[in-house]
């Protein structure tokens, strides 16, 4: 029954006047419901709020207000870090980054040629962006990859087109991290798909090889694999023959990542109902067409989250190459603060390194979330 003015007029005189209902949506209602619902909830909110604000304020003080961004030079042409030392504890010494950022990013690469590794990093990022865009998912993309990776090789090594030659043991910093992880995953992923398929093969020899590979590689730590690649492997080579250390580390990373990714891919293959295989068989699709058109597209969509999880893990695991003396981003950062005048400013350097790693990992994570939404659209009715 609707309440009209007429009805309202007939209401008894002693009708109770009610207040308007409380708001149920909006930030105020949300905080009332979740943060101030009762007295202990309110107490926890206030206590945590106090701590949060207190630490946020002291962090801002340290990182920005009291921070020292540049330092003057001494007569000898070296940076004078006295100001930093005096501010230690109360203010960050970002001067270490200002002074050392080129070393952290590019390691011992010849200083005058730093534009080359910089260009390489930009090329890598451009390659990621282009590959991430669906409209470029055509076979020509493989050509773009081949071209860009060749160009990256030319830029890093030089020795042609008037570029001076830079041997690999002088490479370092971010380009090394990007090279190891990009080549690592670009080769490990197809390898992983083949191994995962092989593990489910009906042919006993292929199956045995794939099982052996996965179990052997997964059974040892990456560090020991890197050690083997750098120390033991050369002992087996004939005299005079030498495969570069970076290449050996790269192969170790590919093999290691391949074993892990293979198990992720296999999980996706396992999750597909048998009916999908049977329907493809019944239509007369050959094994490779069935796999490429029906099985893998579905299986890989299912495992996007664990795949990206492994990708992110391996991006960071490339920092383990420091133990065989390869100068990746993390090692370059560590080395930058060895000089006596910069000793004690590790926090600033590590925060910077963490930010760089975070930017790459977070981009991967965000991209995968979008990919997952888009690819699994067919599951939503």
Residues of this chain that interact with another protein (CB under 8 A) are: 273, 275-276, 278-286, 289, 293-294, 297-298, 301, 378-381
CB of residue 204 to another protein, shortest distance in Å? 16
3-state secondary structure of 154: helix
The conformation of residue 165, written as its DSSP 8-state character, comes to: P
**Shorter beta-carbon distance to another protein: residue 218 or 289:** 289
As beta bridge partners, residue 68 has 93
Rounded to an integer, what distance in angstroms lies between the CA atom of residue 353 and that of residue 359?
10
**Shorter beta-carbon distance to another protein: residue 252 or 269:** 269
**Shorter beta-carbon distance to another protein: residue 123 or 267:** 267
**Shorter beta-carbon distance to another protein: residue 10 or 378:** 378
**Shorter beta-carbon distance to another protein: residue 204 or 340:** 204
Helix H segments across 200-339? 204-218, 222-227, 233-236, 245-271, 274-282, 287-289, 296-302, 304-317, 329-336
As beta bridge partners, residue 328 has 173
**Shorter beta-carbon distance to another protein: residue 246 or 294:** 294
Q: What angle do the packed helices 174-199 and 329-336 form, to 10 degrees?
A: 150
CB of residue 276 to another protein, shortest distance in Å? 6
CB of residue 101 to another protein, shortest distance in Å? 46
3-state secondary structure of 364: helix
3-state secondary structure of 291: helix
Q: What count of other Cβ atoms lies within 10 Å of the Cβ of residue 80? A: 15
Rounded to an integer, what distance in angstroms lies between the CA atom of residue 113 and that of residue 16?
84
CB of residue 298 to another protein, shortest distance in Å? 5
CB of residue 278 to another protein, shortest distance in Å? 5
Find the distance separating the first CA and the last CA of the chain, reported in whole Å. 38
**Shorter beta-carbon distance to another protein: residue 350 or 375:** 375
CB of residue 135 to another protein, shortest distance in Å? 19
CB of residue 134 to another protein, shortest distance in Å? 15
Rounded to an integer, what distance in angstroms lies between the CA atom of residue 119 and that of residue 125?
10
């Amino acid at each position: 029954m609707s309440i009209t003015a007429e009805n309202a007029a007939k209401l008894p005189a002693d009708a109770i006047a009610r207040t308007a209902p409380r708001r149920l949506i909006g930030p105020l209602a949300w905080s009332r419901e979740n943060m101030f619902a009762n007295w202990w909830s309110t107490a926890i909110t206030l206590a945590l709020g106090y701590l949060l604000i207190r630490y946020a304020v002291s962090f801002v003080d340290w990182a920005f207000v009291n921070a020292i961004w540049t330092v003057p030079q001494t007569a000898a042409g070296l940076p004078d870090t006295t100001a930093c030392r005096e501010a230690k504890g109360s203010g960050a010494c970002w001067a270490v980054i200002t002074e050392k950022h080129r070393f952290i990013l590019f390691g011992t690469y010849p200083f005058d040629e730093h534009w080359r590794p910089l260009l390489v990093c930009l090329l890598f990022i451009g390659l990621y962006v282009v590959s991430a865009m669906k409209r470029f998912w055509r076979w020509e993309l493989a050509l773009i990859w081949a071209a860009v990776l060749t160009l990256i090789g030319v830029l890093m090594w030089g020795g042609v087109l008037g570029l001076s030659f830079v041997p690999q043991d002088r490479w370092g910093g971010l380009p090394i991290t990007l090279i190891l992880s990009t080549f690592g995953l670009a080769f490990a992923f197809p390898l992983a798909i083949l191994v995962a398929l092989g593990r489910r093969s009906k042919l006993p020899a292929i199956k045995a090889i794939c099982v052996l590979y996965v179990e052997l590689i997964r059974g040892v730590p990456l560090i020991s694999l890197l050690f083997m690649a750098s120390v033991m492997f050369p002992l087996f080579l004939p005299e005079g023959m030498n495969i570069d250390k970076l290449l050996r580390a790269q192969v170790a990373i590919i093999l290691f990542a391949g074993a892990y990714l293979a198990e992720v891919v296999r999980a996706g293959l396992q999750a597909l109902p048998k009916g999908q295989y049977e329907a493809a068989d019944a239509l007369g699709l050959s094994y490779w067409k069935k796999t490429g058109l029906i099985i893998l597209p579905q299986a890989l969509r299912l495992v996007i989250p664990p795949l990206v999880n492994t990708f992110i893990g391996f991006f960071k695991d490339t920092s383990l190459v420091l133990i065989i003396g390869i100068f990746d981003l993390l090692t370059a950062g560590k080395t930058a603060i060895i000089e006596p005048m910069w000793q004690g400013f590790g926090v600033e350097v590590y925060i910077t390194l963490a930010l760089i790693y975070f930017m790459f990992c977070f981009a991967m994570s965000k991209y995968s979330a979008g990919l997952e939404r888009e690819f699994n659209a067919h599951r939503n009715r």
